[in-house]
A and B are shown apart, each in its own frame.
Chain A
Amino acid sequence: MYATLSYDVTAGLISVDDVRQKMLDVFKDRETCDLLSDTLICAIENTADYLALVRKLRKVGNDVDPQFQFVITLHDAGAPLRSNATFPKAKANEIIDPEE
C-alpha cells in the first residue's frame, strides 16, 4: 500500500529548511516520490506501519509547533492515483503498485 502526504511548513523560530529536513528524515528509509515541493507519495508496508509513520510525523509537528502541519492519507496497493502533478511516473508506479 502507499500513502500521500501533503504538508505545510511556515516560518518561525526554526528555519523552514530545518523543519523540512526533520520531516524528510522520517522518510529516509522509505521509497518516496515527490509530486510537488510540499506533496509526496511513499511506500507503506501495512496499517501498523502507517500508524507508526503518523506518530513520527506528529512528533515532528510537536517538536516544531506550530510550524509543521500535515495530512497523510492511506491507500490500498494498486489503488489508482489520479493527479495533475508532473512527477516520475515509473518511480511512482513502483510505489503505488509494487510487484509481489
Chain B
Amino acid sequence: MKLAATIGVLLCLGAPVFAQDSPFIAPSGSRPLVNPDGTYVFQHLPHSDILFEGQIAPRIIIVDSIGKATRRVLLDGKPGVWGYQVSATPMVRLRMFDETSNPVRTPSYMPKGTFQLARFQNMSTSTDSDTDEFNEGPIAMWLIDTIPFGHHSNGQNGCLFTSEVRDEEGECVELVPVDPKTVNKENGSFSTNYIEAMVFYGRMYLDSEGAGAGEFATRWEWRGGIGIQLNPEGYVGGSIKPELSDLYGPTRVLFGGMAARRDVWRCGRVATEVRLQYLTDAPSGIPALITQAEGACFPRRWGGAGLFVRIYHGQDYYNLGFAEKITRLQFGVTLQRDQFLSFRIKPL
C-alpha cells in the first residue's frame, strides 16, 4: 500500500515534468546547458519516514558565448575556441515526511550563481574540413565550472540544538550542558555560504545523424574533474557559524565523472555519473568520503523527462541532516540536465 502510494505520488509529481520540452541536442548558436544541477522527484530504499524527496533546479542562463563558440570549432586549422556562460540557479530541495499532515520539513534553499569557462578543440587527425573524419572530432573540452557564491539554508530561526534557547539578545545559549547534542530538526536554523570551483576535461565524439542541417552533434561524451568547495565563516550574510562549521565539514575536495550517449534503445539520452566528496575535516561519526553513482535514461518523446536510479553513501546532504550518515538507493523521475553539444561545419 505504501509502495503504491509512493508510485502514485511520483507519477503525479512527475506529470508537470513531462510537460517540459528540452531537446537532447543543443544546436550551435543556442544557449546550451552544460553540467547543470538536476531536477528530481524520488523515493528511496530502504524505506524511511520520507514520503518523497525532490530537488528543483532550473538554470537561468544570463550571458552565454558557449553556443557561439560551437560555431567555430570545426573550422579549418582546428583552432582552440573559448566560450563562457554566466547563470543563476534558484535551487530548492525538499522532503515530505510520512507523518500527520505530511509536513515538508525543513526545505533547503540553495540559490547560486555559476560562471563557466570552456575551451574546445577539434582533435581529429584529419585536416580536410570537408570530410566526415574531420567533423566527427573528437572535440576536447576543458571546463572550469565555478560557483563564486552559493547559499544553503533552511529558512528557520530556531536554535541549532534542542538543548538551546535564545536569550534576550537573540543568541542561542545552552540551558543545561548536554553531550552529545541533538540537532533541532523541527525549526533549527541551518545556513552556510560557499565557494566552489571544479576543472573538468572531457571529449565529445560527433556524428551527423539526428543533427540539424550543417551540423555534427555529440553522439557520446565523457568528462572527469576535480575541485574544491569552501564554506568560510563570515562570507557574506548567512555564512556558516562556528558551532555548525565544526560539525559540517566546511572544506570538501570534489571529484566528478560522467559519460552519456545519444539514442540507445528507447532512450534519447543515457547518462551515468559518479560524484565523490572528501571532507578534509569530517566530524566524528561521519565518514570522510561521500559517494554517489547515478544512471538515467531519458526516453524519446518524454519531453526531456527521464527515469533515474542512484546509490548514495555518506553524510546526509539535507540541511539539518548533516550529523547523520545515510546509505540509500534512490529512484524516480528526473528532468534532462546536460544537452549534447552540436557543432556547425565550415561553411562551403
Contacts and interface: CB of A to CB of B under 8 A. Distances in A.
B214 A74 contact: yes
Interface stretch (B115-123, B204-212, B253-261): B204-212
Contacts of B345: 47, 51
B213 A47 contact: yes
Contact of B211 (A47, A55, A79): A47
A47 B348 contact: no
B130 interface: yes
B213 A74 contact: yes
A1 B213 CA distance: 7
B192 interface: no
Interface string B194-225: 00000000000001111111111000000000
Interface string A31-73: 0000000000000101111111011000000000000000000
A76 B130 contact: no
B132 interface: yes
A64 B168 CA distance: 96
Interface residues of A, number: 16
B348 A48 contact: no
Contacts, number: 40
Interface in B213-244: 213-216
Contacts of B132: 48, 51-52
Contacts of A49: 208
A47 B130 contact: no
Interface residues of B, number: 16
B213 A79 contact: yes
B208 to A, nearest CB: 4
A22 interface: no
A55 B208 contact: no
Contacts of A77: 213
A48 B130 contact: no
Contact of B210 (A46, A51, A52): A46
Contacts of B215: 47
A55 B213 contact: no
Given A54-B130, A54-B348, A55-B130, A48 B214 contact: no
A20 interface: no
A54 B131 CA distance: 10
Contacts of B348: 54
Interface in A1-31: 1
Most chain B CB neighbours (cut-off 10 Å) among A1, A46, A76: A46
B43 interface: no
A77 B212 CA distance: 8
B135 interface: yes
The list of the 8 closest CB pairs from A to B, nearest first, reads A47-B208, A46-B208, A48-B208, A76-B213, A74-B213, A1-B213, A48-B132, A74-B214
Given A46-B210, A47-B208, A55-B130, 15 more contacts: A44-B213, A46-B208, A47-B213, A47-B214, A47-B345, A48-B132, A48-B135, A48-B207, A48-B208, A48-B209, A52-B132, A54-B348, A74-B214, A75-B213, A77-B213
